[in-house]
Amino acid sequence: MLDIKYIRENKEVVKKNCKIRNVKIDIDVLLETDERRRELIKTIEDLRALRNQKSKGKPTTEEIEKMRAVGENIKKNEEVLSNVEEEFRALLMAVPNLTHPDSPVGGEDDFKVIYTNRKPTKFDFVPKNHEDLMLNNDLIDFERGTKVTGAKFYFSKNNLVRMNQALINYGIDIVTKHGYTLLETPDLAKDAILMGVGFNPRGSAETQIYSIQNSDLSLVGTAEITVGGFHADEILDLSVGAKKYVALSHCFRTEAGAYGRTSKGLYRVHQFAKLEMFVFCKPEDSEKYHEEILNIEKEIIDGLDFPYQIIDIASGDLGGPAYRKYDIEAWMTMKGEGDKQGGYGEITSCSNCLDYQARRLNIRYRKDDGSTDYAHTLNGSAIVLSRFPIAITENYQQTDGSIAVPKALKPYLNLEKL
């Protein structure tokens, strides 16, 4: 959420930003609601001041009569205010974060490639996609996943289970080496936390979130939610350095409205496990940590050694909370079509959210002069157990249909083949 004061003073900037983020919201209506809200608050506060003054001593019968009327007046105004407040909050929450000046302007396809590690894998045979590879090697069972839970659920089998564990341990070792505190988080969170982090449970038809009936809990779509909430309503001491976490959780996504998008095999599923980095830092440090997180993602993927590119996400594809976002896309044979052997598919993502989430979650830090200010938050994926196995199996497949094990995983997975 943006500071309403900032919106008041920079109306045109905010309007323009909403436009390039492709968010339809009427900033004028928001400001009018804000105006009404402030007038009501003033009225109510004046009435309360009057009443408090009279309540200091013992009022006369006459005054009591008068104050009774004042009390009713306050109550009436409060009712109006609570409606206006609700309207105001809904509008304010819908305003997206500002956009980094270097982020490309445009939609999903207008990203900018900022780094490519090497040329795509070249196969001297017709490469398979991970779905065939995994099925042929008895590493996954989609049909029984569908039977037991539903479409887009699956059972991992045999050495895929071992590789998943190995990947997590490999990721944990790298990220904690950089000073990140290891967490395993709840897989459910309160709706208020979800919304604070910028996710929209219930209500909207396009929600990505599974909600638990008769409760205020939802299944998390990422540990970003639980770790973001970890320090909600706290004043942090960042004088000793940023708070850096790496958290393991399951992730649940309804993928509503995602039908028709690439959804072969493991690429788009309803449940997977993920190791996620999250940083709370001072505003002046957030760009630095964004680079740090991206570099750790690179370190992890460089070790696994498959072709990838890093892209700078365009304004219209940033979502609500991100100020700037980099995705790492792995080369995948499943993305091939026609005479192309493959294409790039997202495997990690890292975002700098500035104080957008911190403001909603009320996460502040103590400055040197003793005052407080909102912290900045950043997040990025370290290991994703749906997409990493895709990149590994597809890039490490052999002529005979078997799958080799990346060298960096050997200490964690002592196998020649999966």
β-bridge pairing 235-236 and 155-156: unpaired
* Contact call for residue 202 and RNA (CB under 7 A): no
Annotated ligand binding at 337? The verdict is no
What 8-state DSSP symbol labels residue 96?
P
Annotated ligand binding at 276? The verdict is yes
Task: Select 152 or 376, whichever has its Cβ closest to RNA.
Answer: 376
Task: Select 25 or 235, whichever has its Cβ closest to RNA.
Answer: 235
Q: Tell me, by CB under 7 A, how many residues bind RNA.
A: 25
Annotated ligand binding at 89? The verdict is no
Q: By CB under 7 A, what part of segment 351-410 binds RNA?
A: 370-372
CB of 70 to RNA, least distance (A): 7
Annotated ligand binding at 346? The verdict is yes
Task: Select 45 or 302, whichever has its Cβ closest to RNA.
Answer: 45
Give the distance from CA 142 to its chain's centroid.
Answer: 27
- What's phi and psi for 338, nearest 5 deg? 65, -130
Q: By CB under 7 A, what part of segment 66-105 binds RNA?
A: 67-68, 70-71
The Cα 306–Cα 240 span in angstroms is 37
Q: What does the DSSP assignment read for 102-133?
A: TSPPSSGGG-EEEEE-SPPP--SS-PPPHHHH
Binding residue (CB under 7 A) for RNA from 46, 86, 237, 302: 46
Contact flags string 1-30 toward RNA, x per CB under 7 A: ----x-------------------------
Q: What does the DSSP assignment read for 312-368?
A: E--GGGSTTT-SEEEEEEEEEGGG--TT---EEEEEEEEEE-TTHHHHHHT-EEE-T
Cβ contact 258:291 at 8 Å: no
User: Could you tell me how many residues make up the chain?
Assistant: 418
CB of 369 to RNA, least distance (A): 11
Cβ contact 276:289 at 8 Å: no
Give CA separation, 43 vs 74, 147, 198, in Å: 8, 61, 33
Nearest to 66, CA basis, from 54, 49, 80, 57:
54
Q: What does the DSSP assignment read for 238-283?
A: -TT--EEEEEEEEEE---TT-TTSS--TTSS-SEEEEEEEEEEE-G
Coil, strand or helix at 170: helix
Binding residue (CB under 7 A) for RNA from 24, 28, 49, 150: 49
CB of 378 to RNA, least distance (A): 23
Annotated ligand binding at 372? The verdict is no
Task: Select 38 or 112, whichever has its Cβ closest to RNA.
Answer: 38
CB of 366 to RNA, least distance (A): 9
Binding residue (CB under 7 A) for RNA from 22, 23, 59, 190: 59
* Contact call for residue 54 and RNA (CB under 7 A): yes
Annotated ligand binding at 38? The verdict is no
* Contact call for residue 190 and RNA (CB under 7 A): no
Task: Select 205 or 240, whichever has its Cβ closest to RNA.
Answer: 240
Task: Select 188 or 310, whichever has its Cβ closest to RNA.
Answer: 188
Residue stretches of the annotated binding site for ATP: 253-255, 269-272, 346-349
| Residues annotated in a binding site | 222, 253-255, 269-272, 276, 346-349, 379
What are the residues binding RNA (CB under 7 A)? Answer: 5, 38, 41-42, 45-46, 48-49, 51-59, 64, 67-68, 70-71, 370-372
Binding site feature residues for L-serine = 222, 253, 276, 379
